[in-house]
Structure 1
Amino acid sequence: MEDPVLNRNLEEIKELHTRWTQFRDFVLTAVKSRRATPQAEMKFLELKSRIAMLQDSFMATLEHSHKTGQNIMTIVGDCILLQRVANYNDAERQKFEFDWNECYILLTEQIAHLEEEKQRLAGISEAAFKARRRKERIVAAVYNFIHSAGLKWTIVAAIIVLIVYVIPAYFYSYSAFHSMPVIKMVSLPIANYVYRPFLARDYEYRSMDWVERNKGYVTNEIFPDARASGASDLTPEFFKMNVPRSLGIQPADVPQAIELFDRHIAMEVERFLTAGIDMQFYYILFASSDDAKAFIDLARKGLDSLPQATRDAILNSTHVRRRANFVAIGIGSHALMLNGHIWRKFKFKEQQRSILEPQ
């Protein structure tokens, strides 16, 4: 049988072989005569254009020596004009002939190879040939898929999902990773900046050390004339006696709020005095995200039951943010300053409203 693609490639490479010989004749004639006529320049340009067109078929059939095959266009590109070629010295001429001859030999070998392939196909049935071509296409497709960038990126993405989500969610928690000092340097940022924000918003902190903090933040950014004040009296007992009511929680719900608070894992406090205003901050790790939500829901419920003026007064003197089971509470007489301090210190979203406000 005959392969039309093979036949076409063979004819084009034979033509390239002829054109390549003509190319050498043009160059050597110009070198010998040391000049080039405008007519010769035009024909030389047309010849180079045709060689460039035939080069693709030649390269498509090559199974080896690709660098030598590509040198054809390198040599053609170096011979910009015949007039320039005419000024070649002996060393340049010898280099040209060496490079040209190397490509010529490769062309000759490729023609012989394709002729042999054509003769071999002549003795093969069309059905057998098509079966072989199908097999070659399948092998090529599998090879290209295995070596494709898409597969590599898919594998990388799968590994990232495995590390970031599957393993922590089903096999080995981030809490366990965080207990290993070396691994913690990697696992903690992944948990805080990837896993919790995008995959599990209520994934809980088990230590205040795990909470995101802005280490470069200084209090003077918000309170220019502030001075730290003693916070020793801001004890858990003080919190239970005062903060629930300051947040608007109804007296009937205070025991439940205290019960939720009593299960907390950790608490930090701060106090600042600025312009005579007492600013108190409570940073609490509740036992769970559900406990944190329940505590805040009690405050929202209480605020909804209050007169508008009382509700506004509480909202203007408090600011509350939550991230999973971490709750930051600011109490003072300037909600914007409380907000500014909390979001800067713990990397909350800027300008976000207090979680107690209607969402």
Structure 2
Amino acid sequence: MRTVAVVGTSLAGFRAAQELRAKGFDGRLVMIGAEPPYDRPPLSKDFLLGKVSADDIALAGQDGLDALAAEWHLGVRAEKLGREGVALADGTTIAADGYVIATGAVARTLDAARNLAGVHTLRTLEDAVGLKRALAAGPSSVVVIGAGFIGAEVASACRLLGHEVSVVEAMPVPLAPVLGARMGAVCGELHAENDVRLITGVPVAGFSGTGRVTGVRLADGRELRADLVVAGVGARPATEWLTGSGLAVDGGVLVDSGCVTANPRVIAVGDVARYRCPLRGVRVRAEHWTAAGEQPGVAVANLLAGSTVTHFARHGYFWSDQYGRRLQFAGVATEDVRIVEGDVASKCFVATYHRGDVLTGVFAIDSPRPFTRLRRAL
């Protein structure tokens, strides 16, 4: 290969570029992305709290970027992938011998609030800057829609900043699909323990306000006062630009266990990739920082080899910081949950998940050392 184009410059794309150089690719490397490379996890935590700046979360300084010896096309989006190459919004077309798709995901929005000011999502640095500015305007009533990890982290940050916070979750138990009902309920308790109102099992019916949001209407008839709303209702893979490319797209770019598409010249990594997980036997999208950092090593090796010669077979891992506590999870949750260290009441414990005699997952709050030990046993 003489030219490789990496479409997407967040963690997965940046790591793919690093892996290409580390594995000996010395040809033309083209980096295409709407934003410069930066780390997203701090956006809902330390960035909102003012503990880190935009410079602090950059994935690399200028020396690190220069070391890639890449041709950069930043601030411009890819609009199409075809036989001629990647067509960019500025009219440029980049032809390459190999392509890395790392366009990530886009925050889902709430159609009912489309024309209302004061309703935010949090996915990009621009989103975080806007939300941080709005929160700095003074004490307010904040309603967070969605009690997933992003929603919980935003609620935590808003509460620490002195705002009155309510969290609305349509499911009966927050985080149940990821952690199971028992541990999801434990995470839900963190909100109440920090004077945050958690409302579960009730969908949002609409919003009040003319021009600017003033309230959130729930399906059971209640209305919550809201000076500010943050929608943490998930994200969808950014695949629209691949329409007509010939690549299989279904809830993400479909790739094999080595992150390779049906065309061996095209790989997909990070949030946009829906890969066949050898450990679970199904296709999954691993929407976590660790997967975005680890998949490119496997995918790039396969791209340079011209076929799938290695596989991404690692247990999912993620962490979350909420109300001053560190939550960690690895593996797969099951209904068989056992507390193996600490106690749930103190919110300092380790829980393990089992399928028969097989350890399938580990969850911990404020117990990093035993968590790490048990994670290695997966």
Q: Which TM-score tier does this pair reach, normalised by the shorter chain?
A: under 0.3
- RCO comparison, higher one (Cα < 8 Å, 6+): 2
Look at both structures and tell me which one has the larger radius of gyration over its CA atoms. Answer: 1
> TM-score, normalization: structure 1?
0.20
The answer to which structure has the higher strand fraction is: 2
> TM-score, normalization: structure 2?
0.20
